[in-house]
Chain A
Amino acid sequence: MSVRFTTRAGSAARALDGVNLQVRPGEILALVGESGSGKTTLARTLMGLQRPSDGDVLVGGEPLGYSTSALRGFRRHVQMVLQDASGALSPRQTVYESVAEGIRLHHLVKETRTPEAELVAQALSDAGLRPPQGLFLRYPHELSGGQRQRVLIAGALALRPRILLADEPVSSLDASIRGEILALILRLRDTLGLGVVVVTHDLGLAWNIADRIAVMYLGRIVETGTTEEVLEQARHPYTQALLSVVPEIERLTPVVLRGEIPDPTAIPSGCRFHPRCPAVADGRAAAAGVDQDCRRTSLRVLGPAHEHRVACHLDAATDDGADRPPC
């Protein structure tokens, strides 16, 4: 899947540049990476908010159509929880109105033959707001940060989606509330069998709840695998660098990468990470004889497979990587 944006200057910004991804029911996938890595664009594309310039979004094997009615049907199954709960809720709508909006839009009362109030109450209590009736007439400013986040989640759950997309679900919450919301996401996965995609830059969050992780860099997935594989046996130098700067006491020597993710209108040749790659800078790549490849040969796009996969010349060249199938 690729997404290109045309900039005002007329050049193409390749926000997503060849991404394969699969989410199964009852699975939590964490998309991690820095700002500018394309993780939010990917989430928006999965939601049908952004049309890919290449590739498809498949839901249960069917390609997603982009007509209004197809999108409406699709969004019943895929719901998004936005980053900033205080900004995402209308300050002039009560909790009831906010949650009921989706129910009305999708005519769920007719379809399920359940009174609206019951559907709203059910969604609120699924999101851990009990007793739900007590919150019906509250306005967002009367709620705590954790409650607001739960109301947003309830709004998504009201449609009984199969997939929940959460963009930084806890980054604006206090530490003590963060755990509660993450526990809620885990519980929803277990009780409702939801597939969940969590977009985050927080590796600790991924360790807390994710089954699988996809690490993104400049529009590509550079490493993917189970949470244990990616976080405990990271093979891509970028993943290793990200891990090394997680603030902790007993830890790796921090590899603080210089600068920021390059501009997607000018993606570096060869491996797109090579200008910042610590393995290129310290000569490890040269020692393995791959530094020219790093600079010149582009890497193949990682497939949607569920094994631990890495897009890195050095990894492919080292002994350790040789017995693994090429990506």
Chain B
Amino acid sequence: MNAADAGPVLLEVRDLSLAYLTSEGRLPAVRGIDLTVAAGEIVGLAGESGCGKSTLASTVLRLQPKDAEVSGEMLLSGADVLTMRWGDLRAVRWAEASIVFQGALHSLNPVHRVGRQIAEPIRVHEESVADDEIETRVGDLLESVGLPRARARAYPHPLSGGQKQRVMIAMALACRPRLIVADEPTTALDVMVQAQVLHVLSGLVHDLGVGMLVISHDLSVLADVCDRVAVMYAGRIVEVGPADQVFSDALHPYTAALSGAFPRIGDPAARYAPSGLAGDPPDPRTLSGGCSFAPRCPRGVEECAAAEPTLVPLSPTRSVACIRVAGRATDEPDR
């Protein structure tokens, strides 16, 4: 693939649903998701804990629990990850797509040097690579995330949070994947370190032409690095569009609440007026059948309880699943 032309679709999620089977019954975590990520593109997935975003991430490489009920398709460069043979799946992991997991700060093995940990996927997936070549590659990987080559000999504990996160990103890049999924890559990092890590991530997408799916509860972080953002609520995508538009001009009332939670400094309306949303996300076991956001929605009306709204395109790039907004769009066609 030519890295320079952004465009070929790397990941295509088609009508994906996943339910966990728990002792308290069936728990639908992801309910009918459609999403694409192209090469050279950063797509963000925003939502609160429990909305299904990490479940979706784990499904990209078929890492969901064995007994989970999955339907739909997860196409990685056209091949369905959910149905492929075990041997093919093994080849796809790391080399085609890799995941930077949440809580990276605790994912590194404390008793191995970081260089050895970065080299591990290379040794496992590319058996014929010579030791000195691996060493060169590990050094290059560390440099690509802004760490000195010599850091390969360090153990994880003297590294700071930001440095550990960079090591995790270097490891995800080890087998030159075309798609990287980053689950909460900057949570628990300081603002300044967060800016450094985001800088590294967007630089990689730009330089290597990989595609990236970034998952975060912080819409403002996503707005900053992503090209497109999808907002999830209770297992469904409720709004999708260009990142800056979704953040600064949210259409779905839930997106509006999320972006309002991160005030613009200098905005007099936010001074002494933190905005939030009363109530908690719904229990996925007891969804009513209407719009799942309706019980907390400031703009809810009676019809909201009637049926779950589907994503309606309002323009070539933006879609919203809300009857209140879709109605508005027909009045104002240029919206």
A residues bordering B, Cβ < 8 Å?
34-35, 144-146, 174-183, 186, 201-205, 207-209, 227, 231-232, 241-243, 245-250, 254, 256-257, 260
8 Å CB interface, B242-290 against A: 244, 247-248, 257-258, 260-267, 270-278, 280
**Known contacts A208-B274, A209-B274, A248-B224; can you find 5 more A-B pairs with CB under 8 A?**
A35-B160, A174-B49, A183-B274, A249-B223, A260-B192
A183 touches B276 (CB 8 A): yes
Query: B221 near A: Cβ within 8 Å?
Result: yes
B residues bordering A, Cβ < 8 Å?
48-49, 160-162, 190-196, 198-199, 217-221, 223-224, 244, 247-248, 257-258, 260-267, 270-278, 280, 296
The 8 closest A-B pairs by CB, nearest first: A179-B276, A182-B274, A176-B277, A245-B195, A247-B224, A175-B261, A174-B48, A180-B276
Residue of B nearest to A247 (CB): B224
- For residue B199, which residues in chain A have a CB less than 8 angstroms away from its CB? 256
Residue of A208, A247, A260 near B221 (CB, 8 A) is A247
B277 touches A231 (CB 8 A): no
Most-contacted residue by chain B among A181, A204, A242 (CB, 10 A): A204
A241 touches B192 (CB 8 A): yes
Residue of A176, A181, A186, A260 near B258 (CB, 8 A) is A176
- For residue B278, which residues in chain A have a CB less than 8 angstroms away from its CB? 180
B191 touches A207 (CB 8 A): no
- For residue B191, which residues in chain A have a CB less than 8 angstroms away from its CB? 34, 201-203, 242, 245-246
- For residue B198, which residues in chain A have a CB less than 8 angstroms away from its CB? 247
Given contacts A182-B276, A183-B276, contact A256 B263 (CB under 8 A): no
Main SS class of interface, A:
helix
Residue of A181, A208, A249 near B273 (CB, 8 A) is A208
B274 touches A254 (CB 8 A): no
A246 touches B265 (CB 8 A): yes
Residue of B nearest to A183 (CB): B274
- For residue A260, which residues in chain B have a CB less than 8 angstroms away from its CB? 160, 162, 192-193
B330 CB to closest chain A CB, in angstroms?
28
A177 to B223, CA, bound (A): 20
Given contacts A34-B192, A174-B48, A254-B195, contact A207 B219 (CB under 8 A): no
B160 touches A247 (CB 8 A): no
A168 to B247, CA, bound (A): 24
Given contacts A178-B276, A180-B276, A247-B220, contact A35 B190 (CB under 8 A): yes
- For residue B196, which residues in chain A have a CB less than 8 angstroms away from its CB? 256
- For residue B217, which residues in chain A have a CB less than 8 angstroms away from its CB? 174-175
Most-contacted residue by chain B among A179, A183, A250 (CB, 10 A): A179
A231 to B273, CA, bound (A): 16
A249 touches B265 (CB 8 A): no
A300 CB to closest chain B CB, in angstroms?
26
- For residue B194, which residues in chain A have a CB less than 8 angstroms away from its CB? 245, 247
- For residue B190, which residues in chain A have a CB less than 8 angstroms away from its CB? 34-35, 201
- For residue B270, which residues in chain A have a CB less than 8 angstroms away from its CB? 207-208
A257 touches B192 (CB 8 A): yes
Residue of B nearest to A181 (CB): B276
Given contacts A175-B217, A249-B223, contact A231 B266 (CB under 8 A): yes
